[in-house]
Amino acid sequence: MAYFGNNPQRGELQELYADLNDLNFEKKKEAVKKVIAYMTVGKDVSDLFQSVIKCLEFNDIEMKKLIYLYIVNYSRQKPDDAIMVIQNFRKDVRKSENPLVRALAIRTFGCLRVPKLNEYLIEPLKDCIQDDDPYVRKTAVLCVPKVYEVSPEICPALLELLQKLLEKESNALVLANLIQSMREIEVVSGKQLINLNQKIIQKLLLAVDECIEWGQIFILDYLATYNPQDSKQAEIIIERTLPRLSHINPTVTFCAVKVILKYLDFLDNGELVKNLCKKVAPSLISLLSWNQPEVQYTILRNISLILQKFPILFENDVKVFFCSINEPYYIKYEKLDIMVRICDSKNFGQVLNELLIYLNEADPHFVRKTIKSIGKIAITYDKALDKAVSILVELAKNIQQPTEPVQELLIQMQLIYKKNKQMYKHDESLKIIYSIVDYANEPESKSACAWILGEFGEFIPKSVEKMKEYVDNFQMEDRLVQLQLLTSAVQLYLKYPSQCATLIQQLITSAKDSFNPDVRDRTYIYWRLLSTDPEVVKNLVCFNSGTFSNFSKDLRLWETQDLVVALENMGSISNLFHKLPHQLYKNIKIKINNQQNVKIYKGEEKPDTQAQDQQDENNQNNKKELQQQSQQQQLQDVDLLNFDEPSNNNNNNNNNNNNNNNNNNNNNNNNNNNKTDLFELI
Amino acid sequence: MISSLSFINQKGEILIYRVYKDDINRNEIIQFCAKMIATKENKESPIINIDQTSFIHISIKDIIILATTKIDVNVAMVLEFLYQLTKICKAYFQGNLDENCIRKSFVLIYEILDEVLDYGIPQIADANLLQKFIQEGGIQQETTINIERLRQLTYTLTGAISWRPAGLYYEKNEIYLDIIESVNLLISRKGTVLRSEVVGSIELRSKLTGMPECQIGMNDKLLMGKQARYNKQNSGITIDDMKFHACVGLPKFEKDRIITFIPPDGHFQLMSYRISENINIPFKVNAFYSEIRENKLEIRLKIKSIYDQNIYGTNIIVKIPVPKNSVNVISASSIGKAKHEVEEQSVIWRIKKLQGDVEISLNCEIQLGLTTREEVWSKPPLKIEFQIPMFTASGLRVRFLKVMEKSGYRTNKWIKYLTKGGEYQHRL
């Protein structure tokens, strides 16, 4: 046949063509299977379209499914041929008594994704949405977003139908899929479709008890985006969600946690909040020992976020984050990270002892990360400083090779010294760390060594000789090291002017012609200053960096107002990457823009403090509400803190007052205070 | 939600590829495969983002199951769904899921994929149910024609008790109950317990007629607290957390702490639980490593079984880590056999059966070979695997199991306890 003209697999296709048109049913069926097999491996068999759909005339459900699969795959390439199938679909939907066939037809019909075919779909779809059989109904409901994605203009009637269905549907599974389907449309259209009222919420809560696990997830996921009207409503929803904590599907449990944590903000009763926290914690911990590492990983990633708002949940449970030797590294890294976050004045000893064990592990990356964690703890928690430093110094004593962990060790020690300059001036540790300086082989660790040399030159034996060594190799170094060397050398020069005179000369000569403008500029600045007024240089390079505040900030992931949004999205991809949804999905293609729209839609629903500041008195009512909520939110933060220190009443009262004068301008101030409190605790 | 689903083999070839949404193309998947094959180490996280596309995957032996999406989905759900999908496939393939069965039964898998996801949204993912209407080689004509039965099927699928079909009948009504506990233990160098935890599960095999309602009770502290009469004699054990199969009425449990359920037919996991208090640690371990002279290491190990005398531990495997450069290992044990296994870098001591309250010992003399590099040996922890029938490390006991059905038949009940070693480790 000329049909196959230039096709390289001419023989194969021809054979299939013959078999498809064979009169023998079995032969046809085998041929269809083969076609699907070719499709799977990525070969183009679209040319057989007509022959394949001819096989639809047999009433064999397995074959039907295969052919439908084929049609779905190639309908976009062959829209004109696809039209021929329409009659078949319509016949199935209208005439078949078999609900499975009806559902199959409508499901496949929706997947064609050919705009001009969709108008044929509207009527049968309407029928199916009102079908007697719940299985057909749920399939039809899911079909609407498929159509909407391709041709939204023909959908208004369908959307109305969905909204009506939401009012009257009583089957839990259909309801759950309905919610999910409407949410998908909301994502694409950016418009709010679901209008919740008391009755529907009631229905959804009932449906959670009755439908399959995925349905429970859809509903809970949706409820997490809803803002309850008052404390009473929040309490009811929490009460109905609590049993889900005992579900065997980890995601159901996790979604229940999400809903509960979110609604906690709306509760007035502090005692209740405390009790609920006690119930949520063990459920979360069980998820951590879930035997599917990938699921564990997701949960761990989210726990860093939960911790920022609910440090109370894991107060006494640092042990659950201890690494086990067989775990995949992505989990170990996550656990290390969390251990640093969870570390406080009570448990730092325990945490550091555990980290000490990890230093013996074989994997250098993991050891490096452990050292980094120890360094972070030393910098963040003053009480842990001594112990952490002694661990690191002990480690330094046994070092004989320029391994990867050594680099991290030097970097962390530099940071520790930087923060606590006065404390370590005469310390023994300085000499031990200095003894391993030769093992530095990464730019960052080398620059750390150079920094130590410049800063503590007078306490280190033979510092000038060492600096000479560095200066001799100046040209070979990385830019980062060169910059640090310049500063350190000048520092050293100010300490030992006579010994370093030639050294500084040598350095300036080799650095002034550097190709790197930064290095060159710095060289010239020092050069000019040294030749005019060394005092100025002294002030410039030897200043005492009294406070070193940036470190604690390092530990938090989000600003408070973002935290609320983030918590609402617990479990999502954006959260997994520790981003807000709009940060991860922005300005890319139309679909992603839609994503942004959702963000705005959520913004209206959700008190977003930043947006609130920008909004003027245009919609005052709305604003008032938002403020109230955000205040409640802040109040909650403080309450949670109070579990730790009951003496903190002052703060609480303050906040209560504020709550009374709604339009008080101090509001913002107070918010800020609370924020810092919260983070200090973390 | 999920844009596409693929099964990929070890070489990075696509075995099954099903698209649910139009926003992904095959090339992206192929790129991902190439990347996966390049980084075999599996150190990378199970979720990777490339150009706004998220690749979410799990590995089941040599098969990678991959879901892709372009929107901000609930990752935990997708992962859990992938796991359930493998469960379904395994149920169809008698417990295997390898390249062969996938290639052989790709038609079946496509049929399953068509049913479990619609527009990328998870639907029915219960193997028992799916088998009612999807079968290898197509289901019998009879079922497809009998409309009444089909109606019943769709109502079961979408109903509140979707896990159990109506109209089951058994000559002999039986229910088997297995309580399986696995002990996770981490003991520090000094012998203090760093972490001890029992993760248990109650597995049921039910062969019951009709729609029976079952009730199960354990010696759980909270439950017993509600029933005052037990209060004095026995306080019960504290269960940190329980997770139940979908068939358990959760609201009722939350309110009254009573576990009631209408069981699915056949084998299923009724619940899993976690206990961290008052755990009976089954073995006491003492290990001494001493370097007698250069290149010679001696290990003396003592293990005492601290469970009841009339209970026996079986298939006990002790993995004693030894340095990489161990060449000649001479070991003498009071019971069982010990052998140096180079690949595992440890001496493996196997004991078939061990009575409770017995102390056993092992002595090893290890010749160390010369190494080119002076490397400090990081002693990994000593691990023990074991199984102890009729013993629960948590002390959990099933107090009663009631089966109530309106026809009022008698049920034979069988119960079995087993404790296994999970992550059972001693640091050295």
The per-residue pLDDT for range A205-238, each reduced to its tens digit, is: 988 888 888 999 999 999 988 888 888 888 999 9
User: In chain B, what residues touch A314 (CB-CB under 8 Å)?
Assistant: none
Report the pLDDT value the prediction gives residue A79, as an integer from 0 to 100: 79
- CA-CA distance, A338 to A304, in Å (whole number)? 6
Distance from CA of B179 to the nearest CA of A (A): 16
Task: Name the pLDDT band for A112 (thresholds 50, 70, 90).
Answer: confident
Residue A299: closest CA among chain B residues belongs to which residue? B76
The per-residue pLDDT for range A414-460, each reduced to its tens digit, is: 888 888 877 776 678 888 888 888 888 889 999 999 888 888 888 88
Q: Which two tokens stand for residue A238?
A: 């929490």
- CA-CA distance, A590 to B119, in Å (whole number)? 19
Could you count the other beta carbons within 10 Å of the beta carbon of residue A561? 20
Residues 421-450 of chain A whose Cβ lies under 8 A from any Cβ of chain B = none
B interface test, pick of A26, A45, A135, A355 with most B CB neighbours within 10 Å = A135
Distance from CA of A362 to the nearest CA of B (A): 7
Distance from CA of B63 to the nearest CA of A (A): 15
Cβ contact B175:B413 at 8 Å = yes
Q: How many helices and strands, by DSSP H and E, does chain A display?
A: 37, 0
Helices marked H in A496-645 — which ranges?
A: 497-511, 517-532, 534-541, 550-554, 560-568, 573-576, 581-584, 589-605, 609-614, 620-644
Between B1, B157, B274, which is nearest A286 by CB? Answer: B274
Between B15, B46, B378, which is nearest A361 by CB? Answer: B378
Report the pLDDT value the prediction gives residue A596, as an integer from 0 to 100: 31
Phi, psi of B136 (to 5 degrees): -55, 130
- Answer whether residue A665 shows pLDDT above 90: no
Same fold, B4-139 and B283-389: no
Percent of chain A past pLDDT 90, that is, above it, reads 10
pLDDT by residue, tens only, chain B of 428 residues: 899 999 998 888 889 988 888 788 888 888 888 887 777 655 678 888 887 888 999 988 888 999 999 888 899 999 999 999 999 999 888 888 889 889 888 888 988 998 899 888 998 888 878 887 777 765 555 555 677 777 777 777 777 778 887 788 899 999 999 999 999 998 888 888 888 889 999 999 999 998 899 999 888 877 665 555 545 455 678 888 889 998 898 888 888 888 999 998 888 999 999 998 889 999 999 988 888 777 888 899 999 999 999 999 999 999 999 888 888 888 888 888 998 888 888 899 999 999 999 999 999 888 888 766 556 677 888 999 999 999 999 989 898 899 998 888 889 999 999 999 988 989 88
Taking CB atoms and an 8 Å limit, are A294 and B79 in contact across chains? yes
Report the pLDDT value the prediction gives residue A6, as an integer from 0 to 100: 42
Neighbouring residues of B89: CB distance < 8 A, sequence distance ≥ 6: B97, B101, B102, B109, B112
Distance from CA of A614 to the nearest CA of B (A): 27
User: In chain A, what residues touch B144 (CB-CB under 8 Å)?
Assistant: 61, 98, 100
Between B16, B241, B254, which is nearest A242 by CB? Answer: B254
Report the pLDDT value the prediction gives residue A618, as an integer from 0 to 100: 42
Taking CB atoms and an 8 Å limit, are A248 and B244 in contact across chains? yes
User: In chain A, what residues touch B11 (CB-CB under 8 Å)?
Assistant: none
- Answer whether residue A606 shows pLDDT above 50: no
What average pLDDT does this structure show over A559-563? 70
Taking CB atoms and an 8 Å limit, are A142 and B43 in contact across chains? no
- CA-CA distance, A576 to B400, in Å (whole number)? 43
User: In chain B, what residues touch A145 (CB-CB under 8 Å)?
Assistant: 119
Residues 388-407 of chain A whose Cβ lies under 8 A from any Cβ of chain B = 398, 400
The per-residue pLDDT for range A373-421, each reduced to its tens digit, is: 999 888 888 888 889 999 998 888 888 888 889 999 999 998 888 888 7
User: In chain A, what residues touch B137 (CB-CB under 8 Å)?
Assistant: 62
Between B133, B195, B427, which is nearest A319 by CB? Answer: B195
Q: Cα dist. B205→A248, B164, B242, B387, B414 in Å?
A: 17, 13, 20, 21, 10
Q: Determine the topology of domain B174-279+391-426 in CATH.
A: Immunoglobulin-like (2.60.40)
User: In chain B, what residues touch A106 (CB-CB under 8 Å)?
Assistant: none
B interface test, pick of A35, A40, A370 with most B CB neighbours within 10 Å = A40
Taking CB atoms and an 8 Å limit, are B241 and A283 in contact across chains? yes
Between A40, A250, A589, which is nearest B16 by CB? Answer: A40
User: In chain B, what residues touch A254 (CB-CB under 8 Å)?
Assistant: 76
Task: Name the pLDDT band for A104 (thresholds 50, 70, 90).
Answer: confident
Q: Cα dist. B272→A251, A291, A391, B203 in Å?
A: 15, 12, 40, 9
Neighbouring residues of A579: CB distance < 8 A, sequence distance ≥ 6: none
User: In chain B, what residues touch A142 (CB-CB under 8 Å)?
Assistant: 118-119, 121
Between B70, B121, B246, which is nearest A591 by CB? Answer: B70
- Answer whether residue A602 shows pLDDT above 70: no
Report the pLDDT value the prediction gives residue B35, as an integer from 0 to 100: 82
Please give the torsion angle defined by the CA atoms of residues A78, A79, A80 and A84, in that order, rounded to the nearest 10 degrees.
100
- CA-CA distance, A213 to A218, in Å (whole number)? 9
Report the pLDDT value the prediction gives residue A641, as an integer from 0 to 100: 33
Q: What CATH number is given for B283-389 in this structure?
A: 2.60.40.1170
The per-residue pLDDT for range A274-300, each reduced to its tens digit, is: 888 888 888 888 888 778 889 999 999
Q: Cα dist. B400→B218, B258, B415 in Å?
A: 7, 12, 11
Report the pLDDT value the prediction gives residue B375, as an integer from 0 to 100: 62
Between B121, B139, B160, which is nearest A180 by CB? Answer: B121
Give the A:B interface size as CB pairs under 8 Å. Answer: 255
The per-residue pLDDT for range A147-189, each reduced to its tens digit, is: 888 888 888 888 988 999 998 888 888 999 999 999 888 888 8
Distance from CA of B309 to the nearest CA of A (A): 32
Distance from CA of A65 to the nearest CA of B (A): 7
A544 CB burial (10 A radius; 0-12, 13-18, 19+): exposed
Query: In chain B, where are the structural domains located?
Result: 4-139, 174-279+391-426, 283-389
Give this complex's ipTM: 0.85
Q: Which two tokens stand for residue A195?
A: 């209008």
Residue keyed to tokens 């418009």 = A191
Report the pLDDT value the prediction gives residue A80, as an integer from 0 to 100: 80
Residue B120: closest CA among chain A residues belongs to which residue? A142
Distance from CA of A681 to the nearest CA of B (A): 25
User: In chain B, what residues touch A42 (CB-CB under 8 Å)?
Assistant: 14, 17, 26
More confident residue, A530 or A257: A257
Report the pLDDT value the prediction gives residue B203, as an integer from 0 to 100: 93
Report the pLDDT value the prediction gives residue B296, as an integer from 0 to 100: 85
Percent of chain A past pLDDT 70, that is, above it, reads 81
Taking CB atoms and an 8 Å limit, are B250 and A142 in contact across chains? no
Taking CB atoms and an 8 Å limit, are A209 and B425 in contact across chains? no
User: In chain A, what residues touch B246 (CB-CB under 8 Å)?
Assistant: 212-213, 247-249
The per-residue pLDDT for range A326-364, each reduced to its tens digit, is: 788 889 999 998 888 888 778 888 899 889 988 888 788
B interface test, pick of A70, A136, A245, A246 with most B CB neighbours within 10 Å = A246
Between B22, B72, B248, which is nearest A581 by CB? Answer: B72
A170 touches chain B (CB under 8 A): no
Taking CB atoms and an 8 Å limit, are A248 and B272 in contact across chains? yes
Report the pLDDT value the prediction gives residue B229, as an integer from 0 to 100: 52
User: In chain B, what residues touch A210 (CB-CB under 8 Å)?
Assistant: 160
Report the pLDDT value the prediction gives residue B201, as an integer from 0 to 100: 92
Q: Give the rounded distance of the alpha carbon of B199 from its chain centre.
A: 10
Report the pLDDT value the prediction gives residue B145, as an integer from 0 to 100: 61
- Domain B4-139, CATH among 3.30.450.40, 2.60.40.420, 3.30.450.60, 3.90.78.10: 3.30.450.60
Residue A317: closest CA among chain B residues belongs to which residue? B195
Task: Name the pLDDT band for A558 (thresholds 50, 70, 90).
Answer: low
Taking CB atoms and an 8 Å limit, are A286 and B150 in contact across chains? no
Whats the size of chain A, residue-wise? 682
Distance from CA of A360 to the nearest CA of B (A): 5
Report the pLDDT value the prediction gives residue A646, as an integer from 0 to 100: 35
A23 touches chain B (CB under 8 A): no
Taking CB atoms and an 8 Å limit, are B72 and A584 in contact across chains? yes
